Chains A and B, each alone.
Chain A
Amino acid sequence: MNDFDEELKQRLRALPELPFTPELADQIRREARRASSRRSSSRRRGSTWLVGASGVGVAAAMAWLVWAGIDADHRALPKPNQTLSASASRAVSPADVGLSTAPISVGFIGVTGSGAGPRDTVTATLTNVGTVPLGQEDVFGVLSFQSDADKDLLGATRWVTLVDAPAQPIQPGQTVTWTFRPVGAPADAQGNLTLSPRLVFFKKGLAPAAQADVVWRTPRLATGRIAVEPTSQWPNGEAFTVRVHVSNVGSTPVRLHDLLAILWFTEPGASEDWTDHRATRFMAQVDPDPASARLLGPGQETDVVFRLIGPPVDYALLSPHVQWILR
């Protein structure tokens, strides 16, 4: 070892280091205990993954939620796997998306916490105001975090995801309290959620626009190749990226910030209805930055990459799909 080598070692080792803070250790400890308890739970019911995403040009905001309410147990998730799947579909987004609201009234919904920890959970009370039991096969929810809870569900969203209904159906007239932790939703440095949650449930199945309670507009975009690649996995979850090639086949520019995407996976030959309870669904903003002015002009193409976390499904055996939505 020569003199410069030794000098270099001393100079480099004199550089200050980032501290591995007690807060970070606590956070890891909490997540580790959660993961361990989920793994060790032998009879799991009433648990589902809710998922989120980050899109083009987005900071590394991984997002996943764990259903932790209504029923204390958790449903066993499928075995993890190493997969790579791709689709070479090329389809223009169909007509606008019509949805019928479900008879689930969301009473209180707000950010809550436990004890001295961060306010990092959401609590909602759900009441079935209909006449038939409602469960996962009947309804799905859209969870949006926004600055003002009274604003439009999609138009004002700063972070959005699709949620499954409770595995245990809600009986007519029954009110249940649902608590979940939306990991990945906007939070401050202490982990406190900073925006207001809003939750709306819709009936499964699409409705003709003329008969729908809510119509989501769709852009004139053609979806090309969809490539899915896992990035990491653990016993009950998997992180993966979805790369979508998209072209503007319309005559007007599309602002990326105005684009939302529903990404879903189906068994080959199964219904391509993204609301179907057998589909694995994700919803994400393409560009969450409200200040972004990035446009996809007529005839222009680009790749959009979504970074998702969801259940460890064998994606190689599933067909990926994308539905574009305008805010």
Chain B
Amino acid sequence: MRGTVGHLAGCGTEDALATLEAWMAAYGTDVLNVAYSYVRNYHQAQDIAQDVFLRALTKMDSFRGESSVKAWLLSITVNRCKDHLRSWSVRHEVHDEEQVALSRAASDTEAEAVGRLERERVWQALQRLPVKYREVVVLYYMRGLPGHEVARVLGISEQNVRTRLHRGRALLREMLDEGVDRHERL
């Protein structure tokens, strides 16, 4: 097993809770942000993060260390998110597209404002990516998983990961360049 917070074989209740504690500290942000990248709703992402860690707690004994703990938790997250998005009711909801992470006070300096606009532009481009490309981009670039673990998390081949990364990169580049062009024309 890779990582420093993964030992759990034969653990009792208190050990399991301590392991959960360590996992939350190490990977809570990863789980929450991957969930948000799918559902785009902060509260739903929190609900999913809670579900992921509780499921991980009950499934600790089934974790075989074939991937990193982080990849294992993110694979639960991705599956949970896809279940969530597949539900009829969710497909008929209007996502709030809230940008919790990007909210800032209005007292930016010019440099801060430029930086914020740049981040918003990148964020918007990322959100416009189709999910099949967005998920590999998020896992690979933002969560720092290597290609083979992205493949394991998503249940696809490494070749498929490379193909989607290539296409996702190209789409992002198009969108970001388009934004620059438009900005320069203005």
Looking at the complex, which one of A12, A18, A56, A60 makes contact with B100 (CB distance below 8 Å)? A18
Complex contact B45–A18 (CB within 8 A): yes
When the two chains form their complex, are residues A32 and B47 in contact, meaning their CB atoms are under 8 A apart?
A: no
Contact in complex: A8, B141 (CB < 8 Å):
yes
Q: Which chain A residues border B84 with CB–CB below 8 Å? A: 60
Contact B80 A232 (CB under 8 A): yes
Is the Cβ of A40 less than 8 Å from the Cβ of B28?
A: no
Whether A19 touches B29, Cβ cut-off 8 Å, given contacts A12-B122, A60-B90, A305-B88, is yes
Number of interface residues of A (CB under 8 A): 43
Given contacts A4-B173, A56-B89, contact A31 B42 (CB under 8 A): no
Taken together as a complex, chains A and B put the C-alpha atoms of A6 and B137 apart, in Å, by 13
Does A28 touch B at the CB level, under 8 Å?
yes
**A303 contacts B28, C-beta separation under 8 Å:** no
Q: When each residue 24-43 of chain A gets 1 if its CB lies under 8 Å from chain B and 0 otherwise, what string results?
A: 11011101110110011000
Interchain residue pairs with CB less than 8 A apart (24): A4-B169, A4-B173, A8-B172, A11-B122, A13-B141, A14-B122, A15-B122, A15-B123, A16-B119, A18-B100, A19-B32, A20-B24, A20-B31, A29-B21, A36-B17, A39-B13, A56-B92, A58-B89, A60-B47, A234-B55, A241-B87, A241-B88, A243-B88, A307-B87
Docked Cα-Cα span, A303 to B87, in Å, equals 12
Contacts of A231 in B (CB 8 A): 83, 87
Q: Nearest 8 pairs between A and B by C-beta?
A: A20-B28, A305-B88, A16-B101, A12-B141, A20-B29, A234-B58, A57-B92, A36-B13
CB distance A31 to B29 under 8 Å? Answer: no
Q: Which residues of chain A are within 8 angstroms of B92 by Cβ–Cβ distance?
A: 56-57
How close is B27's CB to chain A, nearest CB, in angstroms? Answer: 9
Given A13-B142, A15-B119, A18-B45, decide whether A232 and B88 contact each other with a Cβ distance below 8 A.
no
Interface residues of A (CB under 8 A from B): 4-5, 8-9, 11-20, 24-25, 27-29, 31-33, 35-36, 39-40, 54-60, 62, 231-232, 234-235, 241, 243, 303, 305, 307
B117 at interface (Cβ–Cβ under 8 A)?
no
Residues of chain B from 49 to 105 with CB closer than 8 A to chain A in the complex: 49-51, 53-55, 57-58, 80, 83-84, 87-90, 92-93, 100-102
Question: Given contacts A36-B16, A232-B51, is CB(A54)–CB(B122) below 8 Å?
Answer: no
B residues whose Cβ falls under 8 Å from a Cβ of A? 13, 16-17, 20-21, 24-25, 28-29, 31-33, 36, 42, 44-47, 49-51, 53-55, 57-58, 80, 83-84, 87-90, 92-93, 100-102, 118-119, 122-123, 126, 137, 141-142, 169, 172-173
Nearest residue (CB) in B for A20 is B28
Q: How far is the CA of A35 from the CA of B13 in the complex (A)?
A: 10
Quote the shortest CB–CB distance from A41 to chain B (angstroms): 11
| Chain B positions within 8 Å of A18 at CB level | 29, 32-33, 36, 42, 45, 100-101
- Are the C-beta atoms of B88 and A303 separated by less than 8 Å? yes
User: Is the CB–CB distance between B13 and A40 below 8 Å?
Assistant: yes
| Chain B residues touching A, majority SS | helix
CA distance A25 to B22 in the complex (A): 11
Q: Shortest CB–CB separation between residue A85 and chain B, in angstroms?
A: 17
Query: Is B28 within 8 A of A25, CB to CB?
Result: yes
Tell me the complex Cα distance, A56–B16, Å.
38
**Contact: B93 with A59, CB < 8 Å?**
yes
Q: Chain A residues with Cβ under 8 A from B45's Cβ?
A: 18
Of residues A11, A57, A234, A241, which shows the largest number of chain B Cβ atoms within 10 Å of its Cβ?
Answer: A11
Partner of A17, one of B33, B53, B93: B33
Instruction: Verify B50–A28 contact, CB threshold 8 A.
Output: yes
One of B25, B29, B53 near A32 (C-beta < 8 A): B53
What CA separation (Å) do A8 and B169 show in the bound complex? 8
Interface centre among B46, B80, B126, B172 (most CB of A within 10 A): B46
Which chain B residue lies CB-closest to A230?
A: B83
Q: Given A16-B102, A36-B16, A58-B89, does the pair A234, B54 have CB atoms closer than 8 Å? A: yes
User: In the complex the two chains form, is A232's CB within 8 Å of B169's CB?
Assistant: no
Q: Are B49's CB and A307's CB within 8 A?
A: no
Complex: A8 Cα to B170 Cα, angstroms: 11
Evaluate contact between B83 and A232: CB separation under 8 angstroms: yes
Q: A33 and B17: CB pair below 8 A?
A: yes
Chain A residue numbers with a CB within 8 Å of B21 are: 29
